[in-house]
Amino acid sequence: MIRPEHNLLSEIMTRKVVTLDISERIEEALRLMIKFDIGSVIVTDNDKPVGIITERDITRAALRGDSMLRLPARSLMSRPLQTVSGDLEVWRAFEVMLKVGVRRLPIVENEELVGIITEKDLTRWVLRIFYEPNLPHEIQALIRNPKLEALASRPRCPSCGHYQDECICARTELASEE
């Protein structure tokens, strides 16, 4: 039987985190969110997490009338970035999210982004804990996230060999699809 009071964030976090360099345009953040069907991207500076851009950030900027798509990520990202360690107990993540008023917590170890915890991850954890040890098949399907699991075997670009979500070729294809 799972003892929920001892589960750590490192056990349930999403390990593949979509990131965006601080100098990239907000348009690229939006493209990544659409491509991976996610609600945020972590903004990095020299591969260190420094901020986050969420769908809510973009919506609020759009309603102000900002023509923000050409602006760099640094102009819209929320900062300082609230992060936690992977060795934090899961129930404490609920506490931090409620106190700080966020729906996502990047997991950082030694200044390196190693994962992210979202409300969805926590919901899956609650379902798993509630139904253990006899997890119904319907609930198993809800707990799995095939879209994120697919990121683990990301395809490579045939032109340059980089992961398609990181190469210029893939971004060019995305732009030409419009």
Q: Are 110 and 87 in contact (CB under 8 A)?
A: no
Query: H/E element holding 116?
Result: strand 112-118
The answer, yes or no, to whether residue 87 has pLDDT greater than 70, is: yes
pLDDT band per the 50, 70, 90 thresholds, residue 170: very low
What is the structure's pLDDT at 4?
57
d(CA 135, CA 158): 41
What is the structure's pLDDT at 130?
74
What is the structure's pLDDT at 71?
87
pLDDT band per the 50, 70, 90 thresholds, residue 32: very high
* Residue 173 domain-assigned (yes or no): no
Percent of the chain with pLDDT over 70: 68
CATH of the domain at 63: 3.10.580.10
Across the range 135-164, mean pLDDT stands at 56
What is the structure's pLDDT at 129?
76
* Residue 74 domain-assigned (yes or no): yes
Tell me the torsion sign for CA atoms 12, 76, 68, 21. negative
- Full domain range(s) for residue 11: 4-144
What is the structure's pLDDT at 83?
95
The domain tally of the chain equals: 1
* Residue 175 domain-assigned (yes or no): no
CA distance readout (Å), 10 to 2, 16, 49, 84, 115: 15, 12, 17, 10, 8
What is the structure's pLDDT at 59?
85
Q: What is the pLDDT of residues 66-76, one digit of tens each?
A: 677 888 999 99
